[in-house]
Structure 1
């Protein structure tokens, strides 16, 4: 994709893809566009808008894809142009919630994306810190992912993301963060040589259990929920061990994409941005709609390296 394309015009064209409604139905500065660092945008008409509401968000499914079971622990879910470049999306549910944004990228960059994510499983050599069945399921999924990638050398690019706070089992006295970095770095190094490029998306901000209640209360009081319910950036954005692990890789190209500025300013992170509810649930999964509005910026970051 021509880097010169990634100005206002290209973002406007991609915006037509990211929502199911016609392009003219999306107001200016909608969702992630309201916090585009390159082109600051403000629409006063969205000041009190919250779409979807906290009650609606959990009922909205992820984008459709063609599901095919490969093993008992792993299935693929394909989307994007059938004749596009084959790309894999790998990680836990915090990779899975990027699917609507990656769907926008797939159409922009002509990708055929194979989603092989599994909730609660990390691509790591470190044991899971969650109860059954994950201590057994996740290592099997890891092995199946490596075998599947080896059997599909046409997949040269892998997109990864993961819950930065996903629990693991660390040795006594060891740092859980450092243990995660080590385990994920070791597993990434085991990817087949046919994978030449890693795109790692930094995990999204987290919320508190009471955040959606705060949003509901702000809506009832008719005050801007984004500002009223914002959380300190230091709390919302803990260190991401997958990002640290990716930066240790030397055998293949690595690009880290950090879209945190679309969620946060220098001090706080907002639960509503550009009139769109950011989080789907208390597990800090992002809503389908907000993910779609992030799509053009994910495409821009991947295409330009910025």
Structure 2
């Protein structure tokens, strides 16, 4: 048996290459065949903290300072060209394989990925009820690279400030840096635990909730030269770490519990493997990490991580599968490895050319190379977006002609016609055709609890109507706004995503929706102060639960009690029956199929008769049923009167809502005697 020597401070440690290989293989394999997250990304975050902290503190000890420009230049030269190449190829793939309604969002995320803020774009979508749930972005994996990019900007400041303080106090930089990193670790981990518990979807992409993983890697970098575990301990650490790392994704649902304290599992597993080091023992776990094939995979892990996800997304889109088949998944991995093997040497050669000669010219060439890669990409994405915007504006100019775009009027008149003009809104940008209240920040998000009120119309109006409820109340706003303008009413918007106007406990994506309960309590206080003449809200809620043979539309528990509370405040209620839910993304369906293939039956999501008809309602309640303005008696079509009805799987477009405003007005005035 060879002698086991303690880990030493060296620039290259072969077991780290092997650890990278294991991490990237876990990420790819779990994505491809299991549709799960493995915890491998957390290992990359820890390794980044380990390597960057070690590099920066050695620079401080060698030169007395950190050359920030040189540091960032080296990183830009090494990371940006490969990332931009993958983004560019992915955009070509998006044009070929993704339906047109997803192009705009894909372009937005391409720019966010190139500029290293994709994690925040995904965080916003994660708490946005209107964000598409089914469409997987080919740039989604760039979230972790964005977090790392933000870390690269922050960490030199952390190390530099620690070094400056150490110099002022005459102390060793490493000791001061240990204190700083312990503080970052403790604060970030505490924040991560709290925010993960409060809003895990946001926390997953939050840089602040991930900083502790980098700090843990930094602490390990400072501790490794001092560590010399005995032989048996190192063998146990290596195997314990490797087994724990591989089993993490099997035993934990990483995507729903990370980061928080659960992310200590893969990060501490990586700490154990690095602490064990290269033992040289035939019994050591590093025997699996240090063979040449593993070290080679580790050396191309960055490019492999970048390539595997878009290739998988396009494969799934092309085949219509949700998970790869054994053979298809093997092809995805093989192609990913091949592309990584080709692009990594190219990037390495570019880096070598940039560094050739050293000195100031090398520091200038690195950012110049990064800009040379970024500028064409940003130019192309900008031009593509501008072209889509121009086409959308051209189409919107046509919408004012009621003969070409009657929308709901076609259902009122009962006459169908054929139209030579394109459907509006354009399915490619239908997800932008939402009430203006979203853009103006007037609708509370899933995570928020504050009651946001936005008022439209004259303050001294004779009548005030409050629109209250969730997103299925919100999509009535465009029609109500037109009616309010015609009658001089004041319209008050009080909306929160996925939150019904009731005190009864609610759930969102399977979890208790406590934010909704708190918001609802605040809404009643707001209405008591505001004293509107009427509240316009949904009177039922529709569902796609067909276990009983038809849609489970219900009069929600607590609705009537809430309306009685409003009656005590002398506030009228207009309870509108909820709208149908096709249950699939209508614009995406139209991008690939004929309109006749994108229909749904009303009873798929609605009861055969409105639950409001036989309900014992307070005297202050008027009911409306406008289902016949959205669907035919036996069919919900995606396009009515040349106007797209749904912008997703259940929300009505603003354009269509405006076409039904005149009929809503007539029925509203009849029902209420206003």
Q: Do both share a fold (TM > 0.5)?
A: yes
- 2:538 corresponds to which residue? 161
More helix by share: 2
Task: Return the alpha-carbon distance in structure 2 between the equivalents of residues 151 and 123 of structure 1.
Answer: 17
| Residue 248 in structure 1 maps to residue 621 in structure 2 | no
- 1:296 corresponds to which residue? 662
- 2:575 corresponds to which residue? 200
* TM-score, length-scaled by structure 2: 0.36
More strand by share: 1
Change over 3 Å in CA distance of 1:234–1:77 after alignment to 2? same
- How far residue 49 of structure 1 moved from its aligned partner, in angstroms, is 3.6
| Residue 55 in structure 1 maps to residue 424 in structure 2 | no
- How far residue 240 of structure 1 moved from its aligned partner, in angstroms, is 9.1
Answer yes or no: is the 8 Å Cα contact 1:150–1:192 preserved in 2: no
SS in 1 for 2:665: helix
- How far residue 208 of structure 1 moved from its aligned partner, in angstroms, is 2.5
Q: Which moved more, 1:227-236 or 1:291-300?
A: 227-236
- 1:3 corresponds to which residue? none
Task: Return the alpha-carbon distance in structure 2 between the equivalents of residues 188 and 230 of structure 1.
Answer: 35
Q: CA RMSD in A?
A: 3.3
| Residue 86 in structure 1 maps to residue 460 in structure 2 | no
Answer yes or no: is the 8 Å Cα contact 2:451–2:519 preserved in 1: yes
- 2:414 corresponds to which residue? 40
Matches within 5 A, 1:1-306: 25-28=401-404, 30-36=406-412, 39-45=413-419, 49-63=422-436, 67=442, 72-84=449-461, 85-130=463-508, 135-153=513-531, 155-161=532-538, 164-165=541-542, 181-191=556-566, 193-209=568-584, 211-218=586-593, 225=595, 227-238=596-607, 244=612, 247-252=615-620, 254-282=621-649, 284-305=650-671
- How far residue 290 of structure 1 moved from its aligned partner, in angstroms, is 0.7
Task: Return the alpha-carbon distance in structure 2 between the equivalents of residues 68 and 238 of structure 1.
Answer: 29
Task: Return the alpha-carbon distance in structure 1 between the equivalents of residues 467 and 512 of structure 2.
Answer: 20
Q: Report the structure number with the largest CA radius of gyration.
A: 2
Task: Return the alpha-carbon distance in structure 1 between the equivalents of residues 464 and 512 of structure 2.
Answer: 28
* TM-score, length-scaled by structure 1: 0.74
Answer yes or no: is the 8 Å Cα contact 1:30–1:274 preserved in 2: yes
- How far residue 260 of structure 1 moved from its aligned partner, in angstroms, is 0.9
Answer yes or no: is the 8 Å Cα contact 1:93–1:163 preserved in 2: no
Task: Return the alpha-carbon distance in structure 2 between the equivalents of residues 235 and 166 of structure 1.
Answer: 8
Unaligned runs of 5+ in 2: 1-395, 545-551
- 1:10 corresponds to which residue? none
SS in 1 for 2:425: coil
Change over 3 Å in CA distance of 1:121–1:113 after alignment to 2? same
Task: Return the alpha-carbon distance in structure 1 between the equivalents of residues 520 and 478 of structure 2.
Answer: 24
Unaligned runs of 5+ in 1: 1-19, 168-175
Aligned residues: 265
Deviations 1:32-82 (A, max 9, x none): 11111xx33433225x7421132211123422569599x952100222344
Change over 3 Å in CA distance of 1:68–1:209 after alignment to 2? closer
